[in-house]
Amino acid sequence: MNSLILKKKLDTTSNFSVIDIFEKAARKAGKILISDFGKIENFKIHSKEIGDFVTSVDIKVEKILLDTLQQFYPNASYITEESDEIKGEEETIIIDPIDGTSNFIHGIPFVGIVIGRVFKGEITDGVIFNPILDEFYWATKGAGAWCNNKKINVSNIDRIENCLIGNSIPHANRGYQNYLIEIDNIAKKCSGLRSTGAAAIDLALVASGKTDAFWQRNLKIWDISSGVLLVREAGGKVTQPSGDEWTIEKSDILVSNNFIHNQFLEELNSK
């Protein structure tokens, strides 16, 4: 079943309306990214700390997203990367205006507008939109994972030595104990490591079967909410790197195609 048929089937449900509204907001905001991409002279850059930037484009995009979404969800709570939390009802909308801001600044096309919905502690809907590559990833709980009009699934590779693994090497003050050991443990056992510089995009790559696993620590909920749902709906597995259950309060994550998850945990945590 393609996504257009699925949308018609879900047309009368609140679930589809969530994705439809998220897409409307993301595509409207995406026009700003497209117009300013590769034109660093057009926007202002502020460094929050080493390697953590916010641009005037982030602020403009976030405003467009909030203005659009609040028309449809005026009573929801909002958690965004660049603004203070907006307290509302139990339904929470999570926004990252540009995941991969450093990529955007440098003209690297791995960026994502991320919007997710959390209700009663569960991620129910999410989108990741890369307007530069025109890739619109979306998922609703129970309806599968999609990129544009194509259903996506995780890979079926079952041996870690044949896998491409996603990770982001910590920089500045983001290092953690044993991170070099973790990277060495996995690098010695897999076919290669890949990093896009945007966790949302890394998760979308696992969901679409282009990479086979991804792990990273010290992330924020706006980085990963939609990607977690994508991976699950595409048939993948989500835990903490320890193997413990992942919940929305957790900042460390491991996702995989499910087939290699136990192998990955064993290698990652080997001494």
Per-residue pLDDT of 161-200, as tens digits, reads 999 999 988 766 665 678 889 999 999 999 999 999 999 9
> Can you give the pLDDT at residue 38?
74
Per-residue pLDDT of 189-242, as tens digits, reads 999 999 999 999 999 999 999 999 999 999 999 999 999 999 999 999 999 999
Q: Tell which wins on pLDDT, 132 or 39.
A: 132
> Which residues 6+ apart lie within 8 Å of 64 measured at CB?
25, 28, 29, 32
Q: How far apart (Å, rounded) are the C-alpha atoms in residues 18 and 51?
A: 33
Residues 207, 231: contact at Cβ < 8 Å?
A: yes
Residues 177, 206: contact at Cβ < 8 Å?
A: no
Predicted TM-score (pTM) of the model is 0.89
Q: What would the two tokens of residue 4 be? A: 């257009």
Least confident of 3-12, 76-85, 163-172, 187-196: 3-12
Q: How far apart (Å, rounded) are the C-alpha atoms in residues 128 and 139?
A: 9
**234 C-beta neighbours (distance < 10 Å), count:** 27
Beta-sheet strands, E only, within 153-236 = 164-167, 192-194, 213-216
